[in-house]
Amino acid sequence: MRYLQTDGLEITQMPDGWVIYHHKTDLVHYLNPTAALVFELCNGRHTLAEMTGIVSAAYDLSAPLTDDVQTCVSRLVHEGLVTPCS
């Protein structure tokens, strides 16, 4: 499955992560650097497995962060910041 960022988001990059304002819900979300990377990868081009590989490589980890990336994506979906796409 692939994911796509929701329209209507105002994204501000900060030194310690991203701040995202969701106009539709009038909520502000704070993403740490890892969550920001996962959010950035939700561009419709990467599968969950590919995102896991990219995040693991970015942090030079020996074991993939499959559960952590899945949890992060699930949370982003729950908060309405990304949606599944085909």
pLDDT digits (tens, 9 = 90+) for 12-55: 999 999 999 999 999 999 999 999 999 999 999 999 999 999 99
Taking the model in full, what pTM does it have?
A: 0.94
The CATH number of whichever domain residue 28 belongs to comes to 3.90.930.60
Cα 86 from Cα 74, distance rounded (Å) = 16
Which domain does 39 fall in, by range?
2-85
Is residue 86 within a helix (H) or strand (E), and if so which, with residue range? none
How many domains is the chain built from? 1
The CA distances from residue 45 to 2, 3, 23, 52, in Å, are: 7, 8, 25, 13
In the DSSP assignment, the letter for residue 23 is: T
